[in-house]
Amino acid sequence: MMKDIATPIRTKAILEKYGFSFKKSLGQNFLIEPNVLNRIVDHANVTEKTGVIEIGPGIGALTEQLAKRAKKVVAFEIDQRLLPILADTLEPYPNVTVIHQDILDADIHHTIASEFDDCEEIMVVANLPYYVTTPIIMKLLEDKLPLKGIVVMLQKEVADRISAIPSTKEYGSLSIAIQYYTEAKTVMTVPKTVFMPQPNVDSAIIRLLVRDKPLVNVKDEAFFFQLVRASFAQRRKTLINNLVHFFPNGKELKTEIEEVLGTIGIDGRRRGESLSIPEFAKVSDALADIYQS
C-alpha cells in the first residue's frame, strides 16, 4: 500500500527527487496532513457519482484523496514544473486528468461538457493559492457553471469575510457577492503548521453551496453589484454619503436619493455594513432608474 503523498516525509522525498523549489509568486503551500485532506473531501461530500474540478493540485496530495472517492477529477495546474511530478504521483489513479492551464483563462463550461458527462454532480474542491482566491471564486460563480458547490481552503481572514453577516467588521461587498450566489459556511479552521512551507496566517475551509437561483431577484444585476461596492467604498461614511460619491452628479441628486431611500424605508444615515442583502436589493431596484437617467 502506497503511503499518502501528504506526509512530511513523502512530500520532502518527492520534492527532492524532482529538485522542486517553491515559487512564492504562485502562492505554493503544500498540505502535509492527510487528516485535513480527508476532512476537505468529507465536507465536499464527494462520492462515486461526483465529478471534481481541482485548482492548483501541487504534487497531488488532495488530488489523490479526491481520486479515491470521486468518479473523475480534473485538475488545473499553472506551474509546468509540477506536471512530471503529478504524472508520477497520480499514476495509480486513471480517473484523474491534469490540465496545464490557468483556471482564470479556462473555458470551464467546455471542460465540464467534455469531461463530466457521466457524472451526476460537479464540485470544485481545492487548496487555493492565497493571492488569487477571490478572482477564482468569482469566476466560478459569474460563469454560471452547473456546480453543486465549492469547497476550498483559503486564508482564514478571507473565509471570515465571505461568510460574514451584516453589522460585523468582516461583512462587505465580497460577503454579498458570494452569498448572492451561494450559501456560505466556514466549516473548519486549519493551522499554518500543516503546510510546507508554512504560510504566515491560518487557513480555513469554506463550503459554498450554489443556490438554484440568486438569493434576491434584482432588476439589474450589474448595477446591484456596483451599488454594493460603492456602499462600502468608505466604510466609515453613511450610505447616503457613499451613494452621493457613486452617482454622476451625486451632489445635485442628494435630495432625490434621500427621498427614494425614504420611500422604501431605508435610512440614508445608516452605514453600508448594516444593510442586509435583501435591503441592498431594494435600494438597487429603487435607484437604478435615477442612475441611468
Q: Which three cell numbers stand for residue 190?
A: 486549519
Report the C-alpha gap between 88 and 271 in whole angstroms.
Answer: 54
29 annotated to a ligand binding site: yes
Strand partners, 60: none
Is the backbone of residue 87 left (phi > 0), alpha (psi -120 to 50) or beta? alpha
**CA torsion through residues 84, 85, 91, 95, sign:** negative
The span from the first CA to the last CA of the chain, in angstroms, equals 69
Per the listing, cell 490557468 goes with 102
265 annotated to a ligand binding site: no
249 annotated to a ligand binding site: no
Report the C-alpha gap between 130 and 156 in whole angstroms.
Answer: 10
Q: Under DSSP, is residue 244 helix (H, G, I), strand (E, B) or coil? A: helix
Q: Under DSSP, is residue 81 helix (H, G, I), strand (E, B) or coil? A: helix
31 annotated to a ligand binding site: yes
- DSSP letter string, 141-209: HHTT---SEEEEEEEHHHHHHHT--TTSTT-SHHHHHHHHHEEEEEEEEE-GGGEESPPSS-EEEEEEE
77 annotated to a ligand binding site: yes
User: Which positions make up the binding site?
Assistant: 29, 31, 56, 77, 102, 127
Residues annotated in the binding site for S-adenosyl-L-methionine, as ranges? 29, 31, 56, 77, 102, 127
